[in-house]
Structure 1
C-alpha cells in the first residue's frame, strides 16, 4: 500500500476543515493550485474520492469523513512522538498531568504525596486546563497523564484506571422552581436550558438565546446563579458550589467515574508509579470499598503502563 505522507495529511485536514481550497491554501501559507494538485494526488494514492467539488462548494464524502478523523489522529500521534521524545531526552525528567478545575474528585493531594514516595517518581507538573482539553493534550503529547470523567470524555486509544464513582446532581439557582426539592429525576429537567460543552457543535455558531460554550466551572456557576442554565454534574461539585446555587440529587442519572488516563502502550515507570498512587489514594479515601460502586482493583494496578 502506498502510504500518504504527513505533509499530505496536513493539507487534507486544512481543506476538510475549511471546506474551501482558497482559505485552506491561505491557512497553509501556499498557493491554491499546488494544494489542489496535492489533494488530487492523495486521492489517487489511496484510491478513493475524499472530497466532492463543485463550482460553489467543497464537501466531504463518506470516505473523506473517516479519513479526516484518522488523519487528525495520525498527525496528533506524530506531534506526540516528538514531544515525548524531547521530554525523554531531558536531563531532568518530568511528568505532565492535565486536569480540569476540580476534576480530581479531591484526590490530587493524596495522590501526589504517595507518588513522591515511589522510587520511580520524577518531578511532576500539573496543568489545570479548560473543560474538554485534557484528552487532546494526551493525544498530542502535551500531557503524559490526565484526570478524565467517564462516560463524557473520549477514552478511545487510552488506558484508564477508575478512581472513584459518583452519582450526579442537578445544579440550579437558589431562586429556581426546583431548588427546594429533596430529589429530582431527569424528566423534571425537561425544557430547562442545559450547558453547551466544548465539542458540542463546535463549528456551529450559537443561535439567539443559546448559551455560550461553558469553558470552566466558574463560568458555569455564574450562569446557573443567574438562572440562565441548569447543569447536571458529578456530586463532588457540592464542595465548590456557591451560596446562590443549590445541588439537588438526580435519582435516575447514570453515575460518572473519575479516571486517570494515559496513552496506550506507555512504558514509562514514572507513569506506572502515578497510576499506582492514584489507585491507592482512592482506596484510602474509601472509593474502592466493596459495594460502593467503584471498580475492583488488584495487585497488578499500574503495571499496564509498563506492558
Structure 2
C-alpha cells in the first residue's frame, strides 16, 4: 500500500509546509546549472537500474521515443522543487502526482509503484549525487563540510514531496553506506538501463540548430562513444562491474583533467547563461529582478509531449498548452 501522503492526496491538516531551499544553499548554486545535462545519461542509468523504477520506465515511459523533449521539459518541474521558493512544495506535489498511476508487475512477477517511498527516494538520491558531482568533479570541488551541507539540503528538499522519511539515511555517513549498498546489492542490469546507454541512434540535440541532420549523423558515433565513456567514469565501481565496463587509472586521470577543463571553461560563460530557465527565474526573484508573484517559467512548446498524450496524468504539460 502507498501512504495517502505519498499518493498525492495532500498534506495532513495542521502540518506546516516544509521550508524550501533558498539562494544561500549549495543546491541552488549547482543543481540548476547546465553542466548537469552532461550527467543526464548517468542519472538516467542509475535511476533505471533500480528494479522497481526500471520496471516503471519499461512499462509506462515514452522517454526513448522523445529523449530530448522529455529531458528538457522535465527540468522545469523538477527544478521548480528547488527554485520555486514559497511555491516549491506545491511544485513538489505536482511532480509526485505525475507518478501516482505508475504501477504494475514486472516480468519477474514483482509488484512496483513509483510512489513507494524507497523507489521514489532512490530517484531523489541520484539528483542529490548529480548535484554533488557537478560541484565536485565539474566544478571547484567540495570540502567535507560542503558535502555534509549538501546532504542536509537534500533532506529538506525531500521533505517538500510530503513522502515518508523512512528511507532517508540519518546522516552523511549513513547515506554513503546506503549508496554503496544500493550499488553493490540492489541495482541491476536491465533493458531500460541499456537503452539509456545506447546513444547510437540519438536524435540531434536542440542546441546546435546550425548543424544539419546529415552533419549530426556524421558526428553522432564519436559523440555517443565519448558520452558513454564520460558516463561510465562517474558510475560507482560496483555498477561498472555489473554492467561489464572496464575503467583504468588512465581513464580516471583523463576524466579528472576533463572535469577541470569544464570547470575552467565554465568561468567564461556569462552568469545569466549558466542556469536552466526555471533556476534562472528563481535567482532573479531572489535578487529582486523578477516580481515575487511572477508566474512560473514553463517549458516551451517544442518540448511538449505528442498532442494525443497531453491529457495523461503522467505528463507535465503547462495549462496554457492544453
Smaller-chain TM-score bracket: under 0.3
Which is richer in strand?
Answer: 1
Which is richer in helix?
Answer: 2
TM-score (norm 1): 0.23
Higher relative contact order (CA 8 A, sep 6+): 2
TM-score (norm 2): 0.23
Structure with higher Rg: it is 1
